[in-house]
Structure 1
Amino acid sequence: MASTSEVGHAKNVANFQDLIEFVTGYGATYNPSKNSLKLPQLVALKATAETKLTDVISKNTAYNNKVNERMVAFSNLKSLSTRLVNALQTTDATTETINDAKTFNRKMQGKKASATQTPTDPNAPAPTTISTSQQSYDQLIQHFSGLKSVLEAEPSYTPNETELQVATLTTKIANLNTKNTAVATSYTNISNSRISRNETLYTSENGIYETASEVKKYVKSVFGASSPQFNQVSGIKFSKPKL
């Protein structure tokens, strides 16, 4: 479900279209000298804003999908780590080697990133700041890689089970890194998309929020403060969220 702020952005763009409709109805009387207030520029600004809104939605969905893909990739990591230690204990490995493996496993089990997480709704708003779980995933990879290095260095560790073999673990670690990096990349993409949207709607002096205010002032100057024309546009509300 979209957040209140996301809905607010779309409402501002829809209200800007209402403003354009009234301005269009004024015909040749609406003739501002400032280029950014002219009708073609207003129409172009609205089209740009719609493109920016669509891009945010697309990038947001992509981010949540990458988060879900990472969750699946990490889902069995803790249980697999325990299985690996158990497998090592059935070899000729020394007590020291087994203890090293157990240390990495304890670190693995202590991290917050968990298989009990529920999938993220692809339409849910992505966070405005990078999640603290990102570090947990980074550390899970680090600890699992450490465990793999212990197994790799033990000559007697030669399991018949494919999923426990060092070569399989090497491939899994590469996949975990890929999935984790994809989340970070997609977060950057949604963050940049939001910045671009906010510039078009709010932070630019030629953005929708400021332009709408200037259009209202121009209509007021042309038709008068008590005119029905100014009454039409003055009632169109534009909100500016905290950015």
Structure 2
Amino acid sequence: MASTSETGHAKNVANFQDLIEFVTAYGATYNPSKNNLQLPQLITLKAAADNSVAEVIPKNTAFNTKVNERVAAFSDVKILATRLLAALQSTDASAETIADAKTFNNKIQGKSSSSPKTPLDPNAPPPDTISTSQQSYDQLIQHLSGLKSILEADPSYAPNEVDLQIATLDTKIADLIQKNDAVATVYAAVSNSRIARDKILYTNENSLFETAKDVKLYVKAIFGATSPEFAQVKGIQIRKPKL
């Protein structure tokens, strides 16, 4: 669904409670024949809406946490790749090996023969399609793994610096994979909870949105379009976001 403030959903639920308060005050006069418009069902729907909104919050927090962890893990990949290439260039590696390593480093840096350098924005989600600069997180992992394979295959690459050694690179790549996969996992959880919330609030046949419309119509029917009672409820907004 389109980006919508979580407070917007909570406001809709709060407005539905206002609607409940008004129809409660009408007493026995409010007596719809349609089951889902009756007061007990309105109260039950409001409670379900409260729960659905509340369940999104911790999942969304977990998602943001994992995204931030991924950003931190990937933040030094470009610098690391440049250092690895420099370390290889200081060995007896062949010109062909160095050229192959440069190819992977260029991809990590966002360079290509057909497009200008594109800075990596670690806060942006992976693109819907593979970009020319191949800057999505999974591509960065692949490119770093490719660079590591070249270093690993060259017998002259044996740096004394621990953070440039193959074993350290293996650990780094494994951590990047874990951080990237963790984002996908928590995204699935928050996405599913939002779908469940949106069904209750907006898309089900008897959703909060649809029920509020029908309640207003019933109030209009029993009191009249110019009645003060209808004036009380007609302005209560349950705004349906673009889904």
What is the TM-score when the length of structure 1 is the normalising length?
Answer: 0.85
Q: Does 1:103 find its partner at 2:98?
A: no
Flag the 1:137–1:4 CA change in 2: closer, same or farther, 3 A.
closer
For 1:55, the aligned partner's letter is E
State the identity as a percent: 66
Deviations 1:175-197 (A, max 9, x none): 10111112222233333222222
Q: Does 1:165 find its partner at 2:165?
A: yes
1:50 aligns with 50
- 1:1-243 counterparts in 2 under 5 A? 5-110=5-110, 112=118, 114=120, 131-132=126-127, 136-243=136-243
For 1:56, the aligned partner's letter is V
Displacement of 1:4 in angstroms is 6.1
For 2:190, the aligned partner's letter is I
Flag the 1:188–1:153 CA change in 2: closer, same or farther, 3 A.
same
**Does the 8 Å CA contact 1:104/1:143 hold for their aligned counterparts?**
yes
**Does the 8 Å CA contact 2:81/2:108 hold for their aligned counterparts?**
yes
SS in 2 for 1:218: helix
**Does the 8 Å CA contact 1:5/1:241 hold for their aligned counterparts?**
no
Displacement of 1:5 in angstroms is 4.7
Cα RMSD (Å): 2.4
1:124 aligns with none
For 2:41, the aligned partner's letter is Q
Flag the 1:151–1:186 CA change in 2: closer, same or farther, 3 A.
same
SS in 1 for 2:206: coil
**Does the 8 Å CA contact 2:4/2:241 hold for their aligned counterparts?**
no
For 2:205, the aligned partner's letter is E
SS in 2 for 1:176: helix
**Does the 8 Å CA contact 1:93/1:156 hold for their aligned counterparts?**
yes
How far apart, CA to CA, are the structure 2 residues paired with 1:230 and 1:102? 72
**Does the 8 Å CA contact 1:113/1:137 hold for their aligned counterparts?**
no
How far apart, CA to CA, are the structure 1 residues paired with 2:173 and 2:119? 16
Displacement of 1:171 in angstroms is 0.9
For 2:199, the aligned partner's letter is E
SS in 2 for 1:213: helix
Deviations 1:129-169 (A, max 9, x none): x5429962111111100000011111222222111111110
**Does the 8 Å CA contact 1:45/1:208 hold for their aligned counterparts?**
yes
How far apart, CA to CA, are the structure 2 residues paired with 1:179 and 1:144? 15
How far apart, CA to CA, are the structure 1 residues paired with 2:220 and 2:94? 86
Flag the 1:180–1:113 CA change in 2: closer, same or farther, 3 A.
farther
**How many residue pairs align between the two structures?**
230
Displacement of 1:202 in angstroms is 1.2
Displacement of 1:206 in angstroms is 0.5
For 2:127, the aligned partner's letter is T
Displacement of 1:92 in angstroms is 2.6
For 2:16, the aligned partner's letter is F
The farther-off stretch of 52-61 and 102-111 is 52-61
**Does the 8 Å CA contact 2:126/2:137 hold for their aligned counterparts?**
no
How far apart, CA to CA, are the structure 2 residues paired with 1:220 and 1:239? 20
How far apart, CA to CA, are the structure 2 residues paired with 1:43 and 1:73? 46
How far apart, CA to CA, are the structure 2 residues paired with 1:58 and 1:99? 48
SS in 2 for 1:239: coil
**Does the 8 Å CA contact 1:22/1:233 hold for their aligned counterparts?**
yes
Displacement of 1:15 in angstroms is 0.8
